[in-house]
Amino acid sequence: MTFSPKKRYSIFSLARNALSYHERWPEAWRSPSPNPAYDVVIIGGGGHGLAAAYYLAKNHGIANVAVIEKGWLGGGNTGRNTTIIRSNYLLEESQVFFEHSLKLWESLSQELNFNVMFSQRGVVNVYHSPQEMEALTRRQNAMRLGGIDAETLTLGELKAMAPSLDCSPQARFPIQGAVIQRRGGVARHDAVAWGYARAADSWGVDIIQNCEVTGIERAGGRVVAVETNRGRIAAGKIGIAVAGHSGQVARLAGLRLPIETHLLQAMVSEPVKPFLSCSLSSGLLHVYVNQSDKGELVIGGQLDGYNSYSQRGNFSTIEQTLAGAVALFPAISRLRLMRAWAGIMDMTMDGSPIMGKTDIGGLYLDGGWCYGGFKATPAAGWCLAHLIANDEPHPAAAPFSLSRFGDGRVISERGVGPKPNAH
């Protein structure tokens, strides 16, 4: 196993490189041609695949690994999401997994020597009715029983935290209160992909971009290779971490997954001065808002509601989302939108991820993250690496096996049944 630490990023390297007009920074990661064979091939160069490769090398000593990405690193949902990080879940299985992830986030910049700009600014859920208050309070109590931070905010506290929020009784949907997870927050999505890529590369992992997996070869009940547009690559084990393409890629190995692919849009306004210091969402209005460090308001809503791989959504969803945002923050009604985009979401039948073995030897799955997989990135990588190295699930991820759908052990936070677009 080769470990060649990259030149560390620090105040001193910044000053040194400033003197040479920033023209001598070393490359962050190599761009090798694929080898004919690897111990492990990970399909998908998003945050999950890159994190898994890094932890395979660092935690398990398996560095003869390739990450195969059909486009560019982070060009999938990793680079398209609204970056909210939280562990405010109702069910114990989800709490354990996402709290493991949140703890890894808290030291990730130091771990990777790469500033992922993790900002624990608090994740606030407002409520507009007694029914919503009961549901949020129940979740808050469950979190506290699980050892996770959660607090109630009175209207006065909420107003102090978000002065532009319309907390008046005249609001279209008057706000009655809120709950907050103060340790929740946001991070810089590209930096997460780049930080893991750089760290994995320094352990000897090959990161191969512009290389699409077009087939998965099997022999004797095991996977033996992937076919790609750059040739065949033999693999002892294969991990699939392709988010919205989970169904397509699993089908290459003859598997049919309980996943539907849907569109989710997000948008940013033009930048403004500091306006909102937390991440704030309203379940009733199907909208959430936070402010990026550049000053843009980052706004997201609900799924477009039909199956698609198109990576572009509809104006009606944008309009509905923005109507909700303006109802919360009337002051933004004249802001201009700069960009809107969509990602393709791997929605499962119970709204929880799938991580585990498949019936095919040496083939492992990380998918079905719905719209919550960015916050999962460190733990998903950690647990996928554990699974591939040991052929056994990590305890934090064990409940999320593919077999749970056959066994009837679904993990449904919303309890809405097998309706992927309703989770």
Ligand X SMILES: Cc1cc2nc3c(=O)[nH]c(=O)nc-3n(C[C@H](O)[C@H](O)[C@H](O)COP(=O)(O)OP(=O)(O)OC[C@H]3O[C@@H](n4cnc5c(N)ncnc54)[C@H](O)[C@@H]3O)c2cc1C
331 versus 422: smaller Cβ distance to ligand X? 422
- Min dist. Cβ of residue 118 to ligand X (A): 13
Distance CA 306, CA 261 (A): 8
Q: Are 200 and 241 in contact (CB under 8 A)?
A: no
Q: List the one residue from 373, 378, 399, 420 that touches ligand X (CB under 6 A).
A: 373
Q: What is the CA radius of gyration of the chain?
A: 22
Q: Does 239 bind ligand X (CB under 6 A)?
A: no
Comparing CB distances to ligand X, the nearer of 47 and 324 is 47
Residues 331 to 360: which contact ligand X by CB under 6 A? 343
Residue 68 binds ligand X, judged by CB under 6 A: yes
Q: Are 306 and 264 in contact (CB under 8 A)?
A: no
Interacting residue with ligand X among 34, 57, 69, 386 (CB under 6 A): 69
CB of 240 to ligand X, least distance (A): 9
User: Least distance (Å) from ligand X to the CB of residue 70?
Assistant: 4
Could you say whether residue 381 binds ligand X (CB under 6 A)? no
Determine the Cα–Cα distance for residues 172 and 165; give it in Å rounded to an integer: 12
Q: Which of 29, 40, 42, 45 is the binder for ligand X (CB under 6 A)?
A: 45
For ligand X, the binding residues in 265-284 under the rule CB under 6 A are 265-266
Tell me the DSSP string of 87-126: ---SSHHHHHHHHHHHHHHTTHHHHHTS----B---EEEE
Q: Does 82 bind ligand X (CB under 6 A)?
A: yes
Q: Where are the alpha helices (DSSP H) in 212-352?
A: 246-252, 315-328
Mark the segment that binds ligand X (CB under 6 A) among 18-26, 215-223, 238-246, 268-276.
Answer: 238-246
Q: Which is nearer to ligand X, 196 or 275 (CB)?
A: 196
Residues in contact with ligand X, shown as a per-residue x/- string from 293 to 312 under the rule CB under 6 A? -------x------------
What is the distance of C-alpha 131 from the center of its chain? 29
Q: Which lies closer to ligand X via its Cβ, residue 83 or residue 125?
A: 83
Contact region with ligand X (CB under 6 A), list: 133-141, 168-176, 196-204, 244-252? 244-252
Residue 330 DSSP class: G
382 binds ligand X (CB under 6 A): no
Contact string 184-223 vs ligand X (x = CB under 6 A): ----------------------------xx----------
- Is the CB of 61 or the CB of 231 nearer to ligand X? 231
A 10 A CB-CB count for 209 gives 16
The DSSP letter of residue 361 is B
Q: Are 280 and 290 in contact (CB under 8 A)?
A: yes
- Residue 24 CB, nearest approach to ligand X (Å): 30
Closest approach, Cβ 421 to ligand X, in A, equals: 14
Nearer to ligand X, 82 or 401 (CB): 82
CA distances from residue 395 to 33, 57, 60, 96, 392 in whole angstroms, order as listed: 36, 20, 16, 9, 9
Residues 6+ apart with CB under 8 A from 369: 48, 77, 243, 345, 346, 353, 376, 380
* Helices 189-202 + 47-60 axis angle, to 10: 30
Q: Are 250 and 256 in contact (CB under 8 A)?
A: yes
Binding site for ligand X (CB under 6 A): 43-49, 68-71, 75-78, 80-84, 212-213, 241-245, 249, 264-266, 300, 343, 369, 371-375
